[in-house]
Amino acid sequence: MEGKTKEEGIIERWVMKHLLLYTGATRHPFILSIRDGSVDISSFKRWLEQDYIFVREFVPFVASVLLKACKNSEDGNDMEVILGGLASLNDEIAWFKSEASKWDVSLSNTVVHKANQTYCRFLESLMSREVEYALALTALWAIEATYQESFAHCLEDGSKTPPELQETCRRWGNEGFGEYCRSLKKIANRYLEKASADVIAKAEVTLLHVLEHEVEFWNMSHRGT
Ligand SMILES: Cc1ncc(CN)c(N)n1
Protein backbone atom coordinates (compact mmCIF):
# COMPACT_ATOMS: atom_id res chain seq x y z
CA MET A 1 0.00 0.00 0.00
CA GLU A 2 1.23 3.49 -0.84
CA GLY A 3 1.67 6.16 1.81
CA LYS A 4 2.91 6.14 5.35
CA THR A 5 1.24 4.18 8.10
CA LYS A 6 1.30 6.03 11.41
CA GLU A 7 3.40 4.27 14.02
CA GLU A 8 1.55 3.72 17.27
CA GLY A 9 3.46 3.23 20.47
CA ILE A 10 2.66 3.11 24.16
CA ILE A 11 2.59 6.91 24.43
CA GLU A 12 0.03 7.27 21.65
CA ARG A 13 -2.14 4.65 23.38
CA TRP A 14 -1.86 6.51 26.70
CA VAL A 15 -2.80 9.79 25.02
CA MET A 16 -5.95 8.17 23.64
CA LYS A 17 -6.73 6.52 26.98
CA HIS A 18 -6.34 9.81 28.88
CA LEU A 19 -7.55 12.11 26.13
CA LEU A 20 -9.68 14.24 28.43
CA LEU A 21 -6.72 15.16 30.64
CA TYR A 22 -4.38 15.50 27.65
CA THR A 23 -6.82 17.89 25.99
CA GLY A 24 -7.20 19.76 29.29
CA ALA A 25 -3.46 20.40 29.27
CA THR A 26 -3.10 21.24 25.57
CA ARG A 27 -6.34 23.22 25.02
CA HIS A 28 -6.52 25.07 28.31
CA PRO A 29 -8.68 28.25 28.53
CA PHE A 30 -5.48 30.29 28.94
CA ILE A 31 -4.18 28.98 25.60
CA LEU A 32 -7.61 29.38 24.00
CA SER A 33 -7.64 33.01 25.19
CA ILE A 34 -4.30 33.63 23.44
CA ARG A 35 -5.65 31.95 20.33
CA ASP A 36 -8.85 34.00 20.24
CA GLY A 37 -7.09 37.24 21.19
CA SER A 38 -9.01 37.76 24.43
CA VAL A 39 -6.03 37.03 26.69
CA ASP A 40 -5.64 39.18 29.75
CA ILE A 41 -2.15 40.69 29.53
CA SER A 42 -1.67 40.49 33.30
CA SER A 43 -2.21 36.70 33.00
CA PHE A 44 0.37 36.56 30.23
CA LYS A 45 2.84 38.49 32.39
CA ARG A 46 2.20 36.16 35.32
CA TRP A 47 2.84 33.17 33.05
CA LEU A 48 6.07 34.81 31.82
CA GLU A 49 7.55 35.45 35.27
CA GLN A 50 6.51 32.06 36.66
CA ASP A 51 7.67 30.11 33.62
CA TYR A 52 11.10 31.73 33.83
CA ILE A 53 11.42 30.19 37.30
CA PHE A 54 10.13 26.87 36.02
CA VAL A 55 12.58 26.79 33.11
CA ARG A 56 15.53 27.41 35.43
CA GLU A 57 14.40 24.33 37.40
CA PHE A 58 13.76 22.42 34.19
CA VAL A 59 17.44 22.71 33.11
CA PRO A 60 18.79 20.35 35.83
CA PHE A 61 15.92 17.95 35.12
CA VAL A 62 16.85 17.75 31.41
CA ALA A 63 20.51 17.40 32.45
CA SER A 64 19.50 14.43 34.64
CA VAL A 65 17.76 12.82 31.65
CA LEU A 66 20.90 13.43 29.58
CA LEU A 67 22.94 11.66 32.24
CA LYS A 68 20.57 8.69 32.05
CA ALA A 69 20.86 8.74 28.24
CA CYS A 70 24.65 8.53 28.49
CA LYS A 71 24.34 5.49 30.76
CA ASN A 72 21.49 3.71 28.99
CA SER A 73 21.71 4.63 25.33
CA GLU A 74 22.33 1.62 23.13
CA ASP A 75 22.42 2.32 19.43
CA GLY A 76 20.13 5.31 19.04
CA ASN A 77 20.83 9.02 18.93
CA ASP A 78 19.17 9.73 22.28
CA MET A 79 22.14 11.62 23.57
CA GLU A 80 22.22 14.02 20.63
CA VAL A 81 18.46 14.64 20.81
CA ILE A 82 18.46 15.40 24.54
CA LEU A 83 21.68 17.41 24.35
CA GLY A 84 20.07 19.52 21.61
CA GLY A 85 17.07 20.15 23.85
CA LEU A 86 19.29 21.07 26.76
CA ALA A 87 21.38 23.44 24.64
CA SER A 88 18.27 25.23 23.38
CA LEU A 89 17.30 26.03 26.98
CA ASN A 90 20.23 28.41 27.09
CA ASP A 91 18.55 30.41 24.33
CA GLU A 92 15.23 30.06 26.08
CA ILE A 93 16.51 31.63 29.30
CA ALA A 94 17.93 34.56 27.32
CA TRP A 95 14.59 34.88 25.51
CA PHE A 96 12.68 35.04 28.82
CA LYS A 97 14.95 37.84 30.00
CA SER A 98 14.49 39.91 26.88
CA GLU A 99 10.74 39.20 26.72
CA ALA A 100 10.38 40.21 30.38
CA SER A 101 12.10 43.52 29.77
CA LYS A 102 9.86 44.08 26.72
CA TRP A 103 6.77 43.65 28.94
CA ASP A 104 8.26 45.48 31.89
CA VAL A 105 8.20 42.33 34.02
CA SER A 106 10.82 42.00 36.73
CA LEU A 107 12.36 38.54 36.99
CA SER A 108 14.11 39.16 40.27
CA ASN A 109 12.35 38.79 43.61
CA THR A 110 9.44 36.94 42.02
CA VAL A 111 7.18 35.21 44.51
CA VAL A 112 6.92 31.62 43.38
CA HIS A 113 3.30 30.52 43.09
CA LYS A 114 2.22 27.38 44.89
CA ALA A 115 1.40 25.47 41.68
CA ASN A 116 4.83 26.30 40.28
CA GLN A 117 6.56 25.29 43.50
CA THR A 118 4.73 21.97 43.59
CA TYR A 119 5.57 21.30 39.93
CA CYS A 120 9.26 22.14 40.51
CA ARG A 121 9.34 19.79 43.52
CA PHE A 122 7.85 17.06 41.35
CA LEU A 123 10.58 17.69 38.74
CA GLU A 124 13.18 17.37 41.46
CA SER A 125 11.77 13.99 42.49
CA LEU A 126 12.30 12.78 38.92
CA MET A 127 16.00 13.69 38.94
CA SER A 128 17.10 10.96 41.28
CA ARG A 129 19.37 8.19 39.96
CA GLU A 130 16.76 5.62 40.97
CA VAL A 131 14.22 7.01 38.50
CA GLU A 132 14.25 4.78 35.43
CA TYR A 133 15.24 6.24 32.06
CA ALA A 134 11.94 5.21 30.39
CA LEU A 135 10.02 7.04 33.09
CA ALA A 136 12.14 10.21 32.91
CA LEU A 137 11.81 10.21 29.11
CA THR A 138 8.04 9.92 29.38
CA ALA A 139 7.96 12.94 31.67
CA LEU A 140 10.30 14.95 29.44
CA TRP A 141 8.19 14.20 26.38
CA ALA A 142 4.94 15.14 28.18
CA ILE A 143 6.36 18.44 29.48
CA GLU A 144 7.64 19.49 26.05
CA ALA A 145 4.67 18.14 24.08
CA THR A 146 2.19 20.08 26.23
CA TYR A 147 3.83 23.36 25.24
CA GLN A 148 4.32 22.32 21.63
CA GLU A 149 0.68 21.30 21.12
CA SER A 150 -0.64 24.29 23.06
CA PHE A 151 1.33 27.01 21.33
CA ALA A 152 1.11 25.41 17.87
CA HIS A 153 -2.69 25.64 18.29
CA CYS A 154 -2.33 29.43 18.65
CA LEU A 155 -0.62 29.62 15.25
CA GLU A 156 -3.04 27.50 13.24
CA ASP A 157 -5.20 28.99 10.49
CA GLY A 158 -8.11 30.90 11.94
CA SER A 159 -6.35 31.84 15.18
CA LYS A 160 -6.49 35.47 16.25
CA THR A 161 -3.35 35.47 18.38
CA PRO A 162 -2.27 39.09 19.00
CA PRO A 163 0.85 39.93 16.95
CA GLU A 164 2.84 40.78 20.09
CA LEU A 165 2.32 37.21 21.40
CA GLN A 166 3.08 35.39 18.18
CA GLU A 167 6.81 35.17 18.86
CA THR A 168 6.05 33.43 22.16
CA CYS A 169 3.83 30.95 20.35
CA ARG A 170 6.45 30.32 17.68
CA ARG A 171 9.07 29.53 20.35
CA TRP A 172 7.27 26.25 21.17
CA GLY A 173 4.83 25.98 18.29
CA ASN A 174 7.45 25.90 15.52
CA GLU A 175 8.07 22.85 13.35
CA GLY A 176 11.61 22.29 14.70
CA PHE A 177 10.29 22.01 18.25
CA GLY A 178 7.58 19.69 16.95
CA GLU A 179 10.28 17.49 15.43
CA TYR A 180 12.16 17.48 18.75
CA CYS A 181 8.98 16.30 20.53
CA ARG A 182 8.44 13.55 17.96
CA SER A 183 12.04 12.38 18.48
CA LEU A 184 11.55 12.33 22.25
CA LYS A 185 8.34 10.35 21.84
CA LYS A 186 10.08 7.80 19.62
CA ILE A 187 12.89 7.33 22.13
CA ALA A 188 10.46 7.10 25.05
CA ASN A 189 8.34 4.52 23.19
CA ARG A 190 11.45 2.47 22.42
CA TYR A 191 12.44 2.24 26.08
CA LEU A 192 8.87 1.73 27.28
CA GLU A 193 8.48 -1.26 24.93
CA LYS A 194 11.43 -2.91 26.68
CA ALA A 195 10.52 -1.86 30.22
CA SER A 196 9.08 -4.09 32.94
CA ALA A 197 5.36 -3.97 33.74
CA ASP A 198 6.22 -2.15 36.95
CA VAL A 199 8.16 0.62 35.18
CA ILE A 200 5.44 0.93 32.52
CA ALA A 201 2.81 1.36 35.22
CA LYS A 202 4.92 4.00 37.00
CA ALA A 203 5.56 5.84 33.72
CA GLU A 204 1.83 6.03 33.00
CA VAL A 205 1.20 7.52 36.45
CA THR A 206 4.06 9.99 35.86
CA LEU A 207 2.50 11.05 32.57
CA LEU A 208 -0.78 11.76 34.37
CA HIS A 209 1.04 13.75 37.04
CA VAL A 210 2.82 15.88 34.42
CA LEU A 211 -0.47 16.64 32.68
CA GLU A 212 -2.12 17.56 35.98
CA HIS A 213 0.78 19.87 36.87
CA GLU A 214 0.58 21.49 33.43
CA VAL A 215 -3.15 22.15 33.92
CA GLU A 216 -2.42 23.67 37.35
CA PHE A 217 0.32 25.80 35.84
CA TRP A 218 -2.06 27.17 33.20
CA ASN A 219 -4.73 27.72 35.91
CA MET A 220 -2.25 29.72 37.95
CA SER A 221 -1.31 31.82 34.91
CA HIS A 222 -4.90 32.33 33.83
CA ARG A 223 -6.61 33.02 37.14
CA GLY A 224 -3.68 33.73 39.44
CA THR A 225 -4.59 30.89 41.81
C1 LIG B 1 5.26 24.73 32.80
C2 LIG B 1 6.05 24.47 31.56
N3 LIG B 1 5.88 23.29 30.89
C4 LIG B 1 6.64 23.06 29.78
C5 LIG B 1 7.52 23.96 29.32
C6 LIG B 1 8.32 23.68 28.06
N7 LIG B 1 9.67 23.45 28.32
C8 LIG B 1 7.67 25.13 30.02
N9 LIG B 1 8.54 26.09 29.63
N10 LIG B 1 6.93 25.40 31.15
Atom of ligand 1 nearest to the CA of 55: 9
Q: Residue 75 pLDDT more than 90?
A: no
Please tell me the total count of domains within the chain: 1
pLDDT band at 73 (very low <50, low <70, confident <90, very high): confident
- Looking at residue 5, what is its pLDDT? 53
Q: Which helix (H) or strand (E) holds 40?
A: none
Which residue range forms the structural domain that includes residue 213?
10-221
Q: How confident is the model at residue 225 (pLDDT cuts 50, 70, 90)?
A: confident
The amino acid at 110:
T
Express each pLDDT in 77-119 by its tens digit.
Answer: 899 999 999 999 999 999 999 999 999 999 998 999 999 999 9
**Conformational region of residue 146, where left means phi above 0, alpha means psi within -120 to 50, and beta covers everything else:** alpha
- pLDDT over 90 (residue 1): no
**Could you tell me if residue 1 is inside a domain?**
no
Q: Mean pLDDT lowest for which of 84-88, 105-109, 136-140, 182-186?
A: 105-109
- 3: pLDDT strictly greater than 50: no
Q: Is the dihedral of CA 106, 109, 111, 112 positive or negative?
A: positive
Residue 3 lies in a domain: no
One-letter amino acid for residue 74 of the chain = E
Identify whether 128 is part of a domain.
Answer: yes
For residue 108, what are the contacts with CB-CB under 8 A and spacing of at least 6?
A: none
ipTM > 0.95, yes or no: yes
Residue 74 has pLDDT above 90, yes or no: no
Q: Which residues line ligand 1 (CB under 6 A)?
A: 51, 54-55, 58, 143-144, 146-147, 214, 217
Instruction: Give me the CATH number covering residue 157.
Output: 1.20.910.10
Residue pair 191/134 in contact (Cβ under 8 Å)? The answer is yes
- Binned at pLDDT 50, 70 and 90, residue 72 comes out as confident
Kindly state whether residue 213 falls inside one of the protein's structural domains: yes
Residue 3 φ/ψ region, left for φ over 0, alpha for ψ in the -120 to 50 degree band, beta for the rest: left
132 Cα–ligand 1 center, Å: 21
Task: Looking at the CA of residue 213, tell me the nearest atom of ligand 1.
Answer: 1
Tell me, in angstroms, the distance from the centre of ligand 1 to residue 172's CA.
Answer: 9
Cα 38 from chain centroid (whole Å): 23
Residue 191, domain member (yes or no): yes
**Whether the predicted pLDDT of 154 surpasses 90:** yes
Q: Is residue 2 part of a domain?
A: no
Q: What is the pLDDT of residues 31-68, one digit of tens each?
A: 999 999 999 999 999 999 999 999 999 999 999 999 99
Report yes or no on 37 lying in a domain: yes
Positions marked active-site? 214
